[in-house]
Amino acid sequence: MEFFLQQFTNGLTVGAIYALIALGYTMVYGVMKLINFAHGELFTLGAFIGYALLVTFGITGRVGLGLGLAISVVLVAGLVGVAGHVLERVAYRPLRHSDRLAAVVSALGASIFLQNAIMLSWGANYRSYSADLLPSVSVSIFGQSFPLLKILIFLTAVVVMLALWLFVHRTRIGMAIRAAAIDQGAAKLMGIDVSSVIAVVFVIGPALGGIAGLIVGLCYGQINFGMGQLYGLKAFTAAIIGGIGNIQGAMVGGLLLGLVEALGAAYISVAWKDALTFVVLIMILVVRPTGLLPERVAEKL
């Protein structure tokens, strides 16, 4: 039982990370019907900006743990958000009226560019967040002990996702985002400036992905310029599982995938952990290509 609960916690943590990244894919897809192939690299950028703040600059030593972490989250989200905005301006906006393939090629190009830019800035070797950055405290729940860090990370991810849900469903801009995702032309007829909706989505999605990168650094320590590929692919899978374009779906898909992976690694085989992801993906694509969430819930975004 204890082993199961541990694996379950691990699954939720990594699932929350997948979910955060998946939200970026799904929001951009929802509005633009475009897979942002550079999204995984924006996630990596988040991990490295976090590294610069927490390790190179040592922000927690200067302003204290709580404040240092809070500043890091805000700065990572902000800077990766800006990077996402620039990406949209440079790589996607000029191609808005060209055919789909041009945008896909541009997305792949942007991904390679970002990956190399990160490698040139921080080197090709693994970097690690210092192990003593966060105190390793455990809390005990029902007589079981859980690492506080993982619980906090899970809670942070849940809070961020709730905030996003409220933003999308309870604000004016959120309503515009949903309308543009359903029918861009009709949204324009309502007087919605679809260009700015796209710009907003290209800030929020990358910001969430950046936070996920920071979390990976804090949680697992090791980061590398190529890390965005596997995480990106898994998060993309999570987005498909939940039904791409669907915000709740990305959250559910991410958590589900995290759990499948952690429990699969524990009870089937660690070596097959990554393969398991793609078995799930293929099964979903065969059985329910529109994603798990039923059509009614699968209100796009």
Partner 1 sequence: MLELRDVVVAYGGVKALHGVSLTVNEGELVTVLGANGAGKSTSLMAISGLLPLSGGSIWFRGERLDTLKSHEVVRRGITQAPEGRRVFGPMSVEENLRLGAFTRKGFPHRALKRVYELFPRLEERRGQMAGTLSGGEQQMLAIGRALMAEPKLMLLDEPSLGLAPLLVRSIFKTIRSINQSGVTVILVEQNARAALRLASRGYVLDVGRLVLEDSSANLLDNPQVKDAYLGSA
- Angstrom CA distances, 194 to 5, 40, 95, stand at 45, 25, 15
Assess 175 for contact with partner 1 (CB under 8 A): yes
Residue 110 CB partners (closer than 8 Å, separation 6+): 37, 38, 41, 87, 90, 91
Phi, psi torsion values for 32, nearest 5 degrees: -105, -10
Contact 16, 22 (CB under 8 A): no
At closest approach, how far in Å is the CB of 183 from partner 1? 6
Assess 39 for contact with partner 1 (CB under 8 A): no
Q: Which lies closer to partner 1 via its Cβ, residue 187 or residue 207?
A: 187
Residue type for position 28: V
Q: Stretches 55-63, 189-197, 265-273, 286-294: which one binds partner 1 (CB under 8 A)?
A: 189-197
Assess 193 for contact with partner 1 (CB under 8 A): yes
At closest approach, how far in Å is the CB of 196 from partner 1? 9
Residue 51 CB partners (closer than 8 Å, separation 6+): 122, 127, 129, 217, 223
Residue whose tokens read 């393969």 = 275
At closest approach, how far in Å is the CB of 87 from partner 1? 23
At closest approach, how far in Å is the CB of 254 from partner 1? 22
Residue choice 187, 247, 255, 292 for contact with partner 1 (CB under 8 A)? 187
Residue choice 63, 159, 166, 190 for contact with partner 1 (CB under 8 A)? 190
At closest approach, how far in Å is the CB of 245 from partner 1? 11
Assess 291 for contact with partner 1 (CB under 8 A): no
Q: Stretches 105-113, 131-139, 172-180, 253-261: which one binds partner 1 (CB under 8 A)?
A: 172-180
What is the spatial distance between Cα 208 and Cα 22, in angstroms, rounded to a whole number? 9
* Tokens encoding 76: 């990572």
Q: Which lies closer to partner 1 via its Cβ, residue 144 or residue 290?
A: 290
Beta 222-223 vs 138-141: how paired, if at all?
unpaired
Burial 224-237 (b: 16+ CB within 10 A, else e): bbebbbebbebbbb
Assess 279 for contact with partner 1 (CB under 8 A): no
Assess 188 for contact with partner 1 (CB under 8 A): yes
Interaction site with partner 1 (CB under 8 A): 172, 175-176, 178-179, 182-183, 185-193, 299-300
